[in-house]
Structure 1
Amino acid sequence: MYQGESVVEEIVSRLPKSVSIAGHGRKDPFLSKPKSQQMTLKSMVKGIRNMLGRYVGKWFYDKGIPFDAANSPYFPPMVSAIQRVEPEVKPPTAYELSGPILDEEVKEVKKWIEEYKQSWPRTSITLMSDGWLNKVSKKEFLNFLAYSPKGTAFLSSKDVSGTKKDANFYIRQYDQIVEEVGDKHVVQFITDNTRACVSAGSKLIDTRKHLVWTPCAAHSIDLMLEEIGEIKIVKETLEEA
């Protein structure tokens, strides 16, 4: 036996002998193989960690979960928590995840944001505005975040689909969010670099003299690259690449 094989055998013995894949009634071939063939497979995957990877992988593949989800800082603690619980403990249901467990997480996030807000009178904040288009639903959103030395906090997201997005529209949104967080706490406002946003930013600092308005550097570079991409020789080169 390779190292850890006895532990693997114990784990396998606890698993159900027939597992339906994706709810279609098809048996998991890993558990359906005779013991001798299971040993061959286990020797190929080389131990407990690879066995864990197989089952985590099945879940990822079945539900189309992005592989980058494994890089989440919450992924290792989740696995550790599963390893610590008794075999009789059942996993959370879809209802629990979308209901009471989600409610607990929302409460925790709100508590974090309140802790951030406690530091704002001492350090002040930078408000950040970001426009976002959902390419699937075609809906447009305007997001607001607050940055301080304590950290960045998401404040709100507004569905602005079908709205005329001129300078007057943006100045109303900017004024509203400044009032919501407290005018005295805001020292800088960062926005996209579209013409309407630039005009709104200028109007904002005209009425709030203590504020500094800054166009988003990343968005500015993005717009520059788009214009460069329209240059004939550049456009032709990109099309041929």
Structure 2
Amino acid sequence: MTLKGKVKGTRNMLGGYVGKWFYDKGIPFDAANSPYFPPMVNAIQRMGLGVKLSLAYELSRPILDEEVEEVRKWIEEYKQSWPRTGITLISDGWSNKVSKNEVLNFLAYSPKGIAFLSSKDV
């Protein structure tokens, strides 16, 4: 088998495993277009054999807590720029036809980006 053939076979095998994970968990296919997908795969490749993947508990607690803190810092950065740049307040509403609930989301737009502010049942 040529190197090209071996690489293609390995890539197909990897695609099969990734595909099964997507199908099993109902992950939308466009999740593969996420800017976070390639760095995740690259990090797994760099770790090599023997690396232990995160458990569901780790993903739902310490890793999630770290990510929430990172997002809080990111939003705080946005807020610090608001006195200089100003913001545009945006609201978006939607209703759940089954429960008849209506929800209004409030966001702040500035040149730095958009930040979610709050959500209210109305």
Paired AA for residue 94 in structure 1: A
2:81 paired residue number: 119
Cα deviations across residues 57-111 of structure 1 (Å, max 9, x unaligned)? 0101111111111111111111111111132111111111111111111000000
Cα deviations across residues 31-67 of structure 1 (Å, max 9, x unaligned)? xxxxxxxxxxxxxxx3322222111001011111111
User: Rg larger in 1 or in 2?
Assistant: 1
Q: 1:134 to 1:103 in 2, by over 3 A?
A: farther
Higher relative contact order (CA 8 A, sep 6+): 2
% identity of equivalent residues: 79
Cα deviations across residues 166-196 of structure 1 (Å, max 9, x unaligned)? xxxxxxxxxxxxxxxxxxxxxxxxxxxxxxx
CA–CA separation in structure 2 for the residues paired with 1:151 and 1:135: 31
Q: 1:146 to 1:54 in 2, by over 3 A?
A: same
Per the TM alignment, residue 132 of structure 1 is displaced from its structure 2 partner at its CA by 2.1
Paired AA for residue 9 in structure 2: G
How is 1:99-178 mapped onto 2 (pairs within 5 angstroms)?
A: 99-134=61-96, 138-158=100-120, 160=121, 163=122
Per the TM alignment, residue 142 of structure 1 is displaced from its structure 2 partner at its CA by 1.3
Q: TM-score if structure 1 supplies the norm length?
A: 0.47
CA contact (8 A) 1:132 1:140 kept: yes
Q: 1:135 to 1:89 in 2, by over 3 A?
A: farther
Residue 16 of structure 2, aligned match among 39, 54, 62: 54
How is 1:1-241 mapped onto 2 (pairs within 5 angstroms)?
A: 1-3=1-3, 5=6, 46-134=8-96, 138-158=100-120, 160=121, 163=122
Q: CA RMSD in A?
A: 1.8
Structure 2 unaligned blocks of 5 or more: none
Q: 1:139 to 1:100 in 2, by over 3 A?
A: farther
CA–CA separation in structure 2 for the residues paired with 1:155 and 1:70: 28
CA contact (8 A) 1:128 1:147 kept: yes
Q: TM-score if structure 2 supplies the norm length?
A: 0.89
Q: Give 3-state SS (helix, strand or coil) of 1:73's partner.
A: coil
Q: Give 3-state SS (helix, strand or coil) of 2:49's partner.
A: coil
Per the TM alignment, residue 137 of structure 1 is displaced from its structure 2 partner at its CA by 5.5
Structure 1 unaligned blocks of 5 or more: 9-45, 164-241
CA–CA separation in structure 1 for the residues paired with 2:26 and 2:99: 20
Per the TM alignment, residue 138 of structure 1 is displaced from its structure 2 partner at its CA by 4.9
Paired AA for residue 153 in structure 1: A
CA–CA separation in structure 1 for the residues paired with 2:116 and 2:59: 22
